[in-house]
Amino acid sequence: MATVLQKLAESNGRPLFLCDFSPTRGVDPALYDRVKNVGADFVIVAYSPGKSVRVDSTMAAHFIRQDGEHDAIFTLACRDMNRLALQNHLLGAHLLGLENLVVLKGEEFAEKDLALTKSVNDVTPTQLIRDIVGLNKGIDFRKRNLRAPTTFCIGASFDPGQSDIKAEANLAHQKVKAGSDFFITQVLYDPSLVKRFLEIYNDITGDEFPKPIFYGLQILEKEGIFFGDTPERITRELEQGRPGIEIAFEHLQNCRENGLTNFYLVPPILKGGRRNYEAARQLLEMFSEVSPRV
């Protein structure tokens, strides 16, 4: 199976899509078939979304890839494991043939959560990225040689909608220097935020942003959960009955017109945590009709 960078190199400029997937709270394997039919280039498996007990993201990604037809990315958060456990986990993922991952901090536990469990945060995402680069060189965090190096393709994240955009650009730069291969963003609705972020990054570093970016695009439903600063216009249109897929397709086209190429697609999240992957499939079909894949 291909890494994200390999697929980007083979794409001939066509947009690539990552589709967000929430692993199940139980062990019903039939639930994974729904995301396999979406038609995205990669399924990106979330790490314990909602801070709830879920199938491990690496195991879920491996399960999705078993048919040999679907590529998957697993996410890994720093919150719940120390450095030793993280590197053990990564070696196990590599043994399963998983090479693509995105490193995240993980949602902070609320006070009520801390009565039941604890955060670890032994390393920051930037430090973990640096550690994974070490594994790719065949060296663990103790500076001991591994029997063989890993070949991870490392993703990281940033939020172009942050109020302190200079700090966010600085943090993204640190992740670039640490060894990230690609980035995903939080859900955004205003392409001009990307332009502003990239300009500030250039001002800080003196260079263009050097890594591929997958821009967060959420499909909304009237009764669903919204991420990011959702524009009032979109909320109003949903209330008036306009289909969320139609709104998302219009937004996708607008992003493309503003130079955004690759996308991290977030299917509708409904009450109770259910996901509407059929909506993601329909959106990608609509896009393929106007921009056929080659």
Backbone angles phi, psi at 189, to 5 degrees: -120, -10
**Could you give the 3-state DSSP secondary structure of residue 172?**
helix
Q: Residue 10's pLDDT is what? A: 95
Give the whole-angstrom CA distance, residue 13 versus residue 235. 33
Q: pLDDT by residue (tens digit) across 78-103?
A: 999 999 999 999 999 999 999 999 99
| In contact, 273 and 52? CB cutoff 8 Å | yes
268 Cβ partners below 8 Å, 6+ apart?
218, 219, 220, 221, 224, 244, 275, 276, 279
Cβ contact 20:265 at 8 Å: yes
At 20 the pLDDT is 96
For domain 4-290, is the CATH number 3.30.70.270?
no
| Structure confidence by residue, pLDDT tens digits, 18-75 | 999 999 888 878 778 888 889 999 999 999 998 999 999 999 999 999 887 889 999 9
**177: region left, alpha or beta (phi > 0 left; psi from -120 to 50 alpha):** alpha
- Angle CA 199–267–44, to nearest 5: 70
Note the pLDDT of residue 45. 96
Alpha carbon separation from 156 to 69, 74, 171, 183 (Å, rounded): 25, 12, 11, 5
The predicted-structure confidence for 222-254, as pLDDT tens digits, reads as follows: 888 887 788 999 999 999 999 999 999 999 999
